[in-house]
């Protein structure tokens, strides 16, 4: 079975046709449990996310701030395996019909086997993969496997990326481009800097791929700000925090659904 790269592209195109940005939500698999994670991801989509990224928790998440580190720790202590992550992708996609990507670090994929990982992710209905510590220069084996199995390879670009690198990276990528709004790790920020808009402008100059902006966005006002210049708005830590702060699982799911709803309004405002 081929992966859902085309579903991902059509959802992004549909948002563009509605003259709005797409809303992309992130939650790690296995947090707080595998089944609880599926429910939370489903709630995120029910509440208004168009696309989800399912995190594959890693022991050494060097690009994540304390919020996602905490969630990853809970998932790993719960014994999450890669096969559980793939099941999470499968169930989230089957229940909602939405495009589901996997986001993780390179070592778990390398250990599992890039070809096997791509095959299993595609079989589960996955749409693609984001591997933020796999630079384009080291990515050939993965890209070959992903392409063969109909999966998108979403690369991250950063404010420090020079124009010639942006061209090289986006030429190798597919699905969309993940533009990091700032220089830093994941986590909510008071404001999303001007660097993001400049990066999106420079990225658009070298690619036709949709450009989604992540890092730091946590509320509807910020989502609207980013939606004014990007094709998609990516929110992760704010969702994780809703679950961490909730007194019980049910209110956590309600809070996730409510946040998705607020953000969905935000991406339609394009303030």
Partner 1 sequence: MSSDFFTPDPEGQVPDDAGYFGAFGGKFIPEALVAAVDEVAAEYEKAKADPAFAAELGELMVNYTGRPSALTEVPRFAEHAGGARIFLKREDLNHTGSHKINNVLGQALLTKRMGKTRVIAETGAGQHGVATATACALFGLECTIYMGEVDTQRQALNVARMRMLGAEVIAVKSGSRTLKDAINEAFRDWVANVDRTHYLFGTVAGPHPFPALVRDFHRVIGVEARRQILERAGRLPDAAVACVGGGSNAIGLFHAFLPDESVRLIGCEPGGHGLASGEHAATLTAGTPGILHGSRSYVLQDEDGQITEPYSISAGLDYPGIGPEHSYLKDTGRAEYRAVTDDEAMQALRLLSRTEGIIPAIESAHALAGALEVGKELGKDGLLLVNLSGRGDKDMDTAARYFGLYDNDEAGER
Give me the active site residues, please. Answer: 53, 64
Tell me if 171 contacts partner 1 by CB under 8 A. no
Least separation in angstroms between residue 104's CB and partner 1 is 9
Cβ neighbors of 123 (< 8 A, separation 6 or more) are: 1
Tell me if 132 contacts partner 1 by CB under 8 A. yes
Tell me if 133 contacts partner 1 by CB under 8 A. yes
Tell me if 252 contacts partner 1 by CB under 8 A. no
80 token code pair: 């999450």
* Residue 101 exposed, middle or buried by CB count within 10 Å (0-12, 13-18, 19+): buried
CA separation for the pair 179, 157 (Å, rounded): 5
Cβ neighbors of 111 (< 8 A, separation 6 or more) are: none
Tell me if 165 contacts partner 1 by CB under 8 A. yes
Tell me if 163 contacts partner 1 by CB under 8 A. no
CA separation for the pair 36, 29 (Å, rounded): 9
| Near partner 1 by CB under 8 A: residue from 2, 183, 205, 271 | 183
| Near partner 1 by CB under 8 A: residue from 157, 217, 235, 256 | 157
Three-state DSSP at 235 gives strand
CA separation for the pair 209, 173 (Å, rounded): 9
Tell me if 185 contacts partner 1 by CB under 8 A. yes
Question: Of 97 and 116, which has the nearer Cβ to partner 1?
Answer: 116
Tell me if 162 contacts partner 1 by CB under 8 A. yes
Residue showing tokens 């509605």? 18
Q: 60-119: which residues touch partner 1 (CB under 8 A)?
A: 60-63, 65-66, 69, 73, 76, 81-82, 106-112
CB–CB of 214/24 below 8 Å? yes
Question: Of 8 and 169, which has the nearer Cβ to partner 1?
Answer: 169
Q: Which residues bind partner 1 (CB under 8 A)?
A: 58-63, 65-66, 69, 73, 76, 81-82, 106-112, 132-135, 137-138, 155-162, 165, 169, 180, 183-185
């Amino acid at each position: 079975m081929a992966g859902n790269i085309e579903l991902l592209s059509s959802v992004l195109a549909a948002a563009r046709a509605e003259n709005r940005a797409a809303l992309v939500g992130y939650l790690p698999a296995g947090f707080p449990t595998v089944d609880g994670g599926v429910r939370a991801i489903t709630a995120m989509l029910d509440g208004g996310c168009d696309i989800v990224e399912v995190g594959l928790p890693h022991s050494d998440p060097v690009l994540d701030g304390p919020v996602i580190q905490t969630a990853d720790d809970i998932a790993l202590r719960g014994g999450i395996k890669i096969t559980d992550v793939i099941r999470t992708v499968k169930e989230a996609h089957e229940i909602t019909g939405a495009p589901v990507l996997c986001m993780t670090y390179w070592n778990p994929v390398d250990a599992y086997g890039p070809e096997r990982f791509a095959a299993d992710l595609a079989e589960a209905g996955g749409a693609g993969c984001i591997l933020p510590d796999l630079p384009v220069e080291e990515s050939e084996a993965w890209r070959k496997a992903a392409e063969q199995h109909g999966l998108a390879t979403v690369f991250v670009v950063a404010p420090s990326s020079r124009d010639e690198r942006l061209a090289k990276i986006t030429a190798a990528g597919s699905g969309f481009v993940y533009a990091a709004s700032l220089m830093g790790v994941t986590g909510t920020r008071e404001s999303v800097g001007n660097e993001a808009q400049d990066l999106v402008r420079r990225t658009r100059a070298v690619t036709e791929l949709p450009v989604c902006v992540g890092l730091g966005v946590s509320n509807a006002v910020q989502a609207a700000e980013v939606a004014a210049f990007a094709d998609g708005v990516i929110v992760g830590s704010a969702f994780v925090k809703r679950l961490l702060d909730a007194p019980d699982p049910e209110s956590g799911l309600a809070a996730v659904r409510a946040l998705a709803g607020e953000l969905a309004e935000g991406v339609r405002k394009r303030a």
